[in-house]
Structure formats: structure tokens, C-alpha cells
Amino acid sequence: MDINDETIDRLCDLAKLEFKGEERTAIKQDLTRILSYFEKLNAIDTNGVEPLIFMTDSENVLREDKPHTSIQRADALKNAPAKDSDYFRVPKVLDK
Amino acid sequence: MTELDIDFEKYEPVIGLEVHAQMLTKSKAYCTDPYDYGAEPNTQVSPISLGHPGTLPMHNRQVVNNAIKMGLACQCNIASYQYYARKNYFYADLPKGYQITQDKTPICTGGYIAIKLKDQAPKNITLTRIHMEEDAGKSMHDQDVYDTLIDLNRAGVPLIEIVTEPEIASGEEAYAYLSEVRKLVRYLEICDGNMEEGSLRCDANISVRLKGSKAFGTKVEVKNMNSMRNVQKAIDFEIRRQIICIETGERIAQETRSFDALKGITISMRSKEGASDYRYFPEPDLPPLHVSADYIEGVKALMPELPKALFEKYTLQFGLNEYDANVLTENKDIAAYFESILKHTSNIKAAANWVMVGIKGYLNEQALEIKDFSVQASRIADLINLIDEGKVSHSVAAQKVFPEMINEHHLSPLQIAEKLNVLQESNSDELQTWINQSIEKFPSKVAEYKAGKESLLGLFMGEVMKMSKGKADPKLTSQLLKNTLDHHA
């Protein structure tokens, strides 16, 4: 896969990031290097091998439906860059 | 070209619905936070629902059970092997940056929900899938001038999403389908089905095509319909809008539209061209699920009788008509109350009528639910038996005894009737006295009656009723009266 300007634009859009000038050249190089590193995996023949999704054998790890309140509102809001006594605050967003 | 020239009948609407049902669990889907609608903002959160780094989700068993129940109620296949997926998108009320959902392995596939429109044969709406996922928080855009306010109480609340095939053909069918979904989730007690509060939400995918055409038209998604009526209205509006678009040579944009309930129209929200890329991938933090046949049987055993089974019991076994059976099975608690009455009386039709007319009328008037109704079912049965024994007339029971029973819980219906002095007089000696008096009062009418004017019986009946102050048992009175007149010299 080729990392071209179009790919960078698409990734920037999805990641809500912006790269300009030198930054853009640098990220392009980094991504190209990372991708070519992973290209090595193509050397292995995976025909007929089921994709491995989970690294452990555990399954059906379920919890009983018991409520428990672990933190107070003040703690929940503590790390937010913008907040008031009740809410997290973010710039106006109307379009979802 | 004006709207009047358009032949709307040329077109066929193609509608698929996506219904999100909020699960009635005590805790959230992947963490233990409680959730109550209307709780103080950001008080029902935890590091997990806030999406803090280093936290791990753990799935709530009840959500799995609820989804299986809904699947079984709709004759779906329950997947034996499933895993969860991350649906990635960027929005302020989704703190993790992804929603945990199911993509490739939904818990239920196939199945159907039957709908029935008036004067039409029943129609099965095929389900594509039912999957489990979590809700996002709430964004408030208009409470503050500068900022959007975020309340994350709802973040992580369990949902099931029920997706239909594009088989719905009108707003009316969509309404009927939603009524059935709501009835089912309420019977199963997995969701309160409240569209106004958003615990049941519906998005509609709508397109139109010429009748007979195989290809689909451009699909438009309509959101923000917060009642079943609004879903119907929004769909009907949107069908019309799309046909007018086509007929006037406009292009239908592939977009999401929002329903404006005040104006009764849909408005463009955002384009879907260059559709969003959710980059689904398996959720590594939640181990997969294996659902065995035994497990499914265990869940099945916990399910109540469903409305369809009750409907069949009421029509085939109890001999009620379809209308009555429908009204009685509309709500599980109503059906249960009706059946409780039947434990104490064998008069099924009377029990059905009392529930549908007297009791439902009272509940509607007082805006109460049947579970708030204070009169025990056995007492309604007592009242029915009192009428059947001829102790009170039906109208006296409905107008006098029943209202008193709602306030007076210590006296039996019989005692109440005595207290109100409305017991029917079926003592034939006393009746005979009144009958004799009425006959003596109108000797000329007696002659006319005997000459063949049988309608005069009503006059004597009226007289007896007057003397008895309405308490004379009409059936017995009429018998005795006829007998007396026939033997009168």
C-alpha cells in the first residue's frame, strides 16, 4: 500500500488531526516505514488459516446485573479541560 | 407540473426500520453504573463509562439474556458463537471514541414480527438481525450560548438494535410494527417501550420506486421521531416528498433527515455521500460468547406467555372474539388481571367486558395503570357472580356498586349492594303484592291486555318497578306478571 497525499488527508480526517509543511512530510515517511515493516508479514502463507481474534481461550466472561456507583460527579469532571459544576463543556457541535 | 398532476399510486415505498430498545437492567452494559432517566447529570458514571485509559469493560449477563428473549419471541436464530466489535467515530458524547456493538456476529438473525392492519391479512415483517450495543451520552446544544453541554449518564446504557428487512410498505405498517415491538419488549419486561423518553427509538430508511421495478431508489434515513404517530407521519411525508422530487425531475440526495414534529415535515440534517467510515474491528477487551442450546433453554424457561399465545388461548379456548382478545392482550398486566378474575368466576365474557369497559374506563379516566388498580380481581368476580345470581342488575352494578367498590375495600360487593339498598327484589311474595296492586290500579288495561294487546305488559312492569324503587328483579317480575295476568279473571 502506498502512502500518498490522499491517504494522509483521509487519515487526518478520521483522526481529526492536521499536518502541515514539514510535519506532513515526516508523517508520510513514518507511515511508509511502518507499513513496509509490516509488509514482512506477507511473506507468510496464511491460506486456510482462520484469523486469530483473541489471545486467550477465555469466553463467556459475564458479570451479574448489580449496580454500583464508583465515583462522584466532582471526580468525574475533575480531569475535563472545560466543565461547570454539572456538565462537561465542549465547543458547539450541531452536526453529528 | 403541480402536485395534483402526480400519480402517487404509481410508486411503491420501500421501508426498513432500525429500532433501538434501551434495556431495563439495573446496571449498564459493560460497567456497574446504575442508570435512571432524569437523574442529575454526570452522577451515574464511572472511569469505564467515561472512557478513561486502562479501564476494562465486562459484559452484563442480563443484556445477553434479554437479547435472547427478544430473539426467541421473534423466532430468530440465536448465534452460538459471537464476539463484540468497535464502531469508531468521533463525537463528544462518546468518550471512548468508539461504541461497543456487534458487527459480524449479531446475537440474533432472521425471525419475524407479525403485523395486522384492519381488514387485511396478517403480514410478517422479516428481521435482518438483532444485536447488542451501548448507548452514547447526551449532548445539549441549546442550553448554553457558547458551549455544548455533555451529560454522560446515558453513556454505556445497554441497547438492543432490531433491524428489519426493507419490507414495510407504508407509515401505517410502520406504526403497526412498532406497536408489536413495544408490546413484545413490555411483555418480556426487557424495555419500558417509552418513545417519548427515548427508551425506544426508531430510525427509518425510506426509498420509493416504480411499482414492479426491481431496483431500489435512493435511500434516505429519517431520525428524531419521538412517538409512534410521528414515525407514521414522518414516513408518509417522506414518501410523498420523494415522489414529488422524482416527478419534478429533482435528484433525491442520499442523506439523513430529521423529523420536525411541529411542522410535520422532514429536514435535511447531513449528507451521506462519502459515507462515514466506522472502521469496525473485533473488540479485544471483551472475550467472545458461546451460547449453548442449554443456556437458551434456560432463558426460554424464564419467558412469560407472549401476546400471540394469549390471543390464541382467548379466541380458541375461551371463545372470545378477535377484538376482545386483542384489547385484553394489548398489555400483559391487563391480561393477567383478566385471568385472575377467571379464577373466581366461570363467566368469561362478563369478565372480559368488565375489564374492557368498567375497569379500563375507570383507569383511563384517572390516568392509572392496571397495576395501580386497587380492587382485587376476586372482588370483580364476586360482582359478576352477584349479577349472574340475579341479586343486582348489570346497570346497577356498573353505576352504583362498582364505583363504591373502588373506595370501600372491607365490604363485599353483596354487602355494598345491601348498604346502598340496591339488591334486586326476588322475593316472590313481595313481588306478587306489587303485581297485584298494579293490576288493580288499571282494570281497563287488564281487559285490553287480555284482548291481545301484549305491549301493555310494559306498563305493569313500569308500575312494579316504581313501587319497588327499581329493585324488582326484572326477569322474575315479568314471569310472575304474565302468569298473574293470564290467570286473572
Could you read off the pLDDT of B343-356 as tens digits, one per residue? 999 999 999 999 99
Residue B427, pLDDT above cutoff 80: no
- Residues in A closer than 8 angstroms to B88, CB to CB, are 14
Angle between helices B474-487 and B428-441 (to 10 degrees): 50
| pTM listed for this prediction | 0.84
- Residues in A closer than 8 angstroms to B144, CB to CB, are 89
Q: Residue A80 — pLDDT band, cuts 50, 70, 90?
A: very high
B159 and B133 Cβ atoms separated by less than 8 Å: yes
Average confidence (pLDDT) over B364-371: 92
Residue B187, pLDDT above cutoff 50: yes
Domain ranges of chain A: 5-42
Does some domain include residue B188?
yes
Same domain, B148 and B264: yes
Does some domain include residue B272?
yes
pLDDT for residue A92: 87
Please indicate if any CB of chain A lies within 8 Å of the CB of B26.
yes
Planar angle of CA B454, B457, B460, nearest 5 degrees: 150
Please indicate if any CB of chain B lies within 8 Å of the CB of A86.
yes
- Strands (E) in chain A, as ranges, are 62-63, 88-91
Cβ-defined contact of A87 to B32 (cutoff 8 Å): no
Same domain, B113 and B205: yes
Please indicate if any CB of chain A lies within 8 Å of the CB of B185.
no
Using the 3D structure, point to which of B294, B329, B357 is the last residue of a domain: B294
Same domain, B88 and B225: yes
Cβ-defined contact of A67 to B27 (cutoff 8 Å): yes
Which range (A9-23, B114-128, B170-184) has the least confidence? A9-23
pLDDT for residue B489: 67
Average confidence (pLDDT) over A16-26: 91
**Which of A 17-36 lie inside 8 A of B, CB atoms?**
none
Look up residue B86 and give its three cell numbers.
468497535
Same domain, B285 and B338: no
pLDDT for residue A95: 52
Using the 3D structure, point to which of B244, B273, B294 is the last residue of a domain: B294
If we measure between CA atoms, which residue out of B387, B420, B388 comes closest to residue B404?
A: B420
Look up residue B163 and give its three cell numbers.
433491524
- For residue B15, the cross-strand partners are B168, B206
Tell me the three state secondary structure of residue A38: helix
Same domain, B212 and B263: yes
Residue with grid cell 399510486, as numbered in its chain: B9
Contacts of B156 (CB under 8 A, 6+ apart): B28, B29, B30, B31, B33, B48, B49, B134, B135
Same domain, B338 and B375: yes
- Residues in A closer than 8 angstroms to B87, CB to CB, are none
Residue A83, pLDDT above cutoff 50: yes
Q: For residue B322, how many other CB atoms are within 10 A of its CB? A: 11
B259 and B202 Cβ atoms separated by less than 8 Å: no
In Å, how far are B81, B98, B338, B482 from B87, measured between CA atoms?
20, 5, 46, 83
Does some domain include residue B299?
no
Residue A94, pLDDT above cutoff 80: no
Same domain, B416 and B434: no
Average confidence (pLDDT) over B252-265: 94
Domain span at residue B445 reads 428-486
Tell me the three state secondary structure of residue B295: helix
Planar angle of CA B296, B298, B303, nearest 5 degrees: 90
From CA B131, how far away is CA B478, in angstroms rounded?
66
Q: Residue B431 — pLDDT band, cuts 50, 70, 90?
A: confident
Same domain, B332 and B373: yes
Contacts of B136 (CB under 8 A, 6+ apart): B91, B93, B94, B99, B154, B155
Q: Radius of gyration over alpha carbons of chain A, in Å?
A: 22
Please indicate if any CB of chain B lies within 8 Å of the CB of A81.
no
Same domain, B225 and B338: no
More confident residue, B91 or B430: B91
Does some domain include residue B300?
no
Does some domain include residue B183?
yes
Q: Residue A96 — pLDDT band, cuts 50, 70, 90?
A: very low
- Kindly write down the DSSP assignment for every residue of B406-463, as one continuous string: HH--SS-HHHHHHHTT---B--HHHHHHHHHHHHHH-HHHHHHHHTT-GGGHHHHHHH
**Digit-coded pLDDT (tens) for B8-66:** 999 999 999 999 999 999 999 999 999 999 999 999 999 999 999 999 999 999 999 99
Cβ-defined contact of B92 to A56 (cutoff 8 Å): no
Q: Residue B1 — pLDDT band, cuts 50, 70, 90?
A: low
**Digit-coded pLDDT (tens) for B205-235:** 999 999 999 999 999 999 989 999 999 999 9
Q: Residue B178 — pLDDT band, cuts 50, 70, 90?
A: very high
Residue B419, pLDDT above cutoff 70: yes
Mean pLDDT, chain B, as a whole number?
A: 92
- Residues in B closer than 8 angstroms to A55, CB to CB, are 284
If we measure between CA atoms, which residue out of B51, B149, B63, B152 comes closest to residue B102?
A: B63
Per the structure, the count of domains in chain B is: 3
User: Among partner residues A55, A87, A96, which is closest to B151 by beta-carbon distance?
Assistant: A87
Same domain, B237 and B337: no
The Cβ-side half-sphere exposure at B47, using a 13 Å CA radius, reads 6
From CA B270, how far away is CA B273, in angstroms rounded?
9
CATH-assigned architecture of domain A5-42: Orthogonal Bundle (1.10)
- Kindly write down the DSSP assignment for every residue of B207-234, as one continuous string: EEEETT--S----EEEE---SHHHHHHH
Please indicate if any CB of chain B lies within 8 Å of the CB of A68.
yes
Question: Nearest-CA distance from B347 to chain A in Å?
Answer: 43
B440 and B392 Cβ atoms separated by less than 8 Å: no
Which strand (E) or helix (H) includes residue B164? strand B158-164
pLDDT for residue B275: 60
Count, residues in chain B: 489
Q: Residue B423 — pLDDT band, cuts 50, 70, 90?
A: confident
Tell me the three state secondary structure of residue B32: coil
Residue B131, pLDDT above cutoff 50: yes
pLDDT for residue B394: 86
**Which of B 147-166 lie inside 8 A of A, CB atoms?**
147-152
Cβ-defined contact of A87 to B149 (cutoff 8 Å): yes
Same domain, B221 and B311: no
Cβ-defined contact of A65 to B25 (cutoff 8 Å): yes
3-state helix, strand, coil in chain B (%, to 5): 40, 20, 40
B58 and B48 Cβ atoms separated by less than 8 Å: no
Q: What is the CATH number of the domain that holds B445?
A: 1.10.10.410
Contacts of B373 (CB under 8 A, 6+ apart): B337, B359, B362, B363
Average confidence (pLDDT) over B301-320: 95
Same domain, B40 and B118: yes
**Closest residue in chain B to residue A11, using alpha carbons only:** B277
